[in-house]
Amino acid sequence: MSIDKSLKRKSAIVRQRSVLNREERIKQLQSEERWQEGRSPFGLPKVKVVKIVLKKAKKAKTEEAAEGAAGSAAGETKSAAAGKAAAPAKEAAKKK
């Protein structure tokens, strides 16, 4: 018998968590060199949670911009010629 999708537990949370557990807070304090050896693990100071930003989206946008810039240079000459040809057609449509 299979388990329903909604009842399955995922190995990791997909969304960003806003709080850290005690172990994660201690590791963060150690990396910031704010942890003193022999200190009690209770009553820890607050630790800012840094959100992870995906860089893949930025790369895709920059690649599209680069392609768009290269394409726009070639497309400007074509669009300029098409725009000049389309201008008389627009004026004729307005007169009707």
Greater model confidence, 87 or 24: 24
- Which residue's structure tokens are 């399955």? 8
Asked if 51 and 16 touch (Cβ cutoff 8 Å), the reply is yes
> From CA 52, how far away is CA 14, in angstroms rounded?
12
Asked if 26 and 44 touch (Cβ cutoff 8 Å), the reply is yes
Mean of the pLDDT values across residues 50-79? 63
Torsion-angle region of 28 (φ positive above 0: left; ψ -120 to 50: alpha; else: beta): alpha
pLDDT reading at 6 higher than 70: yes
Numbers of helices and strands, H then E, in the chain = 2, 0
